[in-house]
Structure 1
Amino acid sequence: MQYKNPRFFALMDLDDDGRLKNVFWADPRNRAAYQYFGDVVTFDTTYLTNRYGMPFAPFVGVNHHGQSILLGAGLISSEDTETFVWLFQTWLQCMDGIAPKAIITDQDRAMKNAISIVFPESRHRFCLWHILKKVPEKLGSYGSYKTGMKTTLMKCVYDSQTREEFENCWDQFITPYNLGDNVWLKSLYTEREYWVPAFLRDVFWAGMSTTQRSESMNAFFDGCVHSKTNLKEFVDQYDNALKKKIENENVADFHSFNVTIPCISRSPIEKRFQDLYTNGKFREV
């Protein structure tokens, strides 16, 4: 790939016996896209641990149509701090030393450590969906879970507009339900700046609060690759999947330049959005 295109970036990490430990690559398009859409990146390794036991680790962003885009990918041999540091540093090198302004991951400790080492200035957020998915398992055994506890927690998370509001609401959640000793809630509270929306409002997140972009990117590779795919095949199929992605983006570009969605009001602001936004984004507005 590098021979065919000098802007293609790949780096391999070998162990002491010269065996492949980790590999990272990004094609020229991934690198170009990062210049425009590198503000917010989601990173997730839950997909496709292949038959070599190497998790697939894609860096995913979102483009001007709201579509998921790939910003480089790796196959890694383990999910420890050292490996993530190697991967993040390699990715940073590939992207000319420009760190993302914000990054979303799950609550993985090793990832958190590596991000603080390699991207100390980037705002790091935990995937809200992964946290809230654990609520029934962690709190379901309490008698008052269904009679108000869950509702109070969700209200705290989603309805608090400021940090102070969240703090007050959290007190009103913990005290009446005697949750002061709950270890899981204690750890969540300690790390509240990483996941509570009220603490994250000052940062641009491109409409994302979860790693579901990474997971939808995984869905996008489904049908092309599975855990039995060998590495050579994986690279070819990966390439095919990317071509399909580019096609979708081109179609959306074409529509945005050639199809005008009519305004539904006389508001000059709406007219301005119509002129400036892609159709996908204008529909949201």
Structure 2
Amino acid sequence: MKLTNPNFFYLMDLDDEGCLRNVFWADARSRAAFNSFSDAVAIDTTSLRNKYGIPLISFVGLNNHGQPVLLGCGFLGHDSAEYFIWMLKSWQTCMLGRHPQVILTDQSKSLQIAVSKVFPRACHCYCLSYIIQRVPEKLGGLKGYESIKMQLYKAVYNSLKITEFESSWSQMISQPGLKDNKWLQSLYEDREKWVPVYLKRYFLHRNHANKGKREFGFIF
């Protein structure tokens, strides 16, 4: 690839015995796109967590048409903070030390640590669509699930002021069996990282999906 595309970039991470641990690469198109479409970047680790367990990590931005553009990718040897740090630093090196203003990820603790170390000045947000996708898994077995889900959507999507979100969330939590729900507790503690009303001051793309509901967080 380097012979046919001089601006192709790659790094390989080897252990002390010379065995491959991580690989990062970005082609010329990805490197050029970063200059224009890197204000907000999603780090997509979906492949790490699906049933196939493919160790692929992708850096994705949005172009001026609202379409995703690949800004680099790699194979991650292990889902750990150390390996994520290597991957993020490799991407940063590829992009000549520049960094995005906003980074969106899933709720991986290892990735959180890595982002805070490599991009301490960036706003680190959680992708809302990923959280919403987990609602059936986390709350589906509860009595009155459909009502709970609608109240959660109302709090997240319809709140224009922080006080409105807090009020809607309190009403939802007041239902039997929800006050001690660990997943909801963790979401509330991190609300400033994923609830749209808390993130108005940052540049983030919104699209429309799921029968008119606003989907916040632009990639996965």
- Structure 2 vs 1, CA of residues 73 and 110 (structure 1 numbering), >3 Å: closer, same or farther? same
Aligned to 1:205: 204
- 8 A Cα contact 1:44 1:57, kept in partner: yes
Mark the runs of 5 or more structure 1 residues left unpaired by the alignment.
216-285
Aligned to 1:157: 156
Matched, 1:92 2:115: no
TM-score calculated relative to the size of structure 1: 0.68
Question: Can you list the C-alpha shifts for 1:9-29, whole angstroms capped at 9, x where unaligned?
Answer: 111100111111111111222
Larger radius of gyration: 1
Matched, 1:18 2:18: yes
Aligned to 1:56: 56
Question: Can you list the C-alpha shifts for 1:180-204, whole angstroms capped at 9, x where unaligned?
Answer: 2111111111111111111111111
Q: How many residues of Structure 1 are paired with residues of Structure 2 in the alignment?
A: 209
- 8 A Cα contact 1:84 1:114, kept in partner: yes
Secondary structure at the residue paired with 1:181? coil
Tell me the distance in 2 between the aligned counterparts of 1:35 and 1:20.
30
Matched, 1:138 2:138: yes
- Structure 2 vs 1, CA of residues 21 and 54 (structure 1 numbering), >3 Å: closer, same or farther? farther
- 8 A Cα contact 1:38 1:100, kept in partner: yes
* Greater fraction strand: 2
Tell me the distance in 2 between the aligned counterparts of 1:150 and 1:46.
23
Secondary structure at the residue paired with 2:58? strand
* Greater fraction helix: 1
- 8 A Cα contact 2:205 2:217, kept in partner: no
- 8 A Cα contact 1:149 1:177, kept in partner: no
Tell me the distance in 2 between the aligned counterparts of 1:48 and 1:137.
18
- 8 A Cα contact 1:46 1:55, kept in partner: no
- Structure 2 vs 1, CA of residues 140 and 14 (structure 1 numbering), >3 Å: closer, same or farther? same
Aligned to 2:188: 189
Mark the runs of 5 or more structure 2 residues left unpaired by the alignment.
208-215
Greater relative contact order: 1 or 2 (C-alpha under 8 angstroms, separation 6 or more)?
1
Secondary structure at the residue paired with 1:154? helix
Pairing of 1:21-32 with structure 2 (within 5 A)? 21-32=21-32
Matched, 1:174 2:173: yes
Question: Can you list the C-alpha shifts for 1:182-235, whole angstroms capped at 9, x where unaligned?
Answer: 111111111111111111111111336346x3x6xxxxxxxxxxxxxxxxxxxx
Percent of counterpart pairs with the same letter?
47
Secondary structure at the residue paired with 1:47? helix
Question: Can you list the C-alpha shifts for 1:89-125, whole angstroms capped at 9, x where unaligned?
Answer: 1101111111111111111111111111111111122
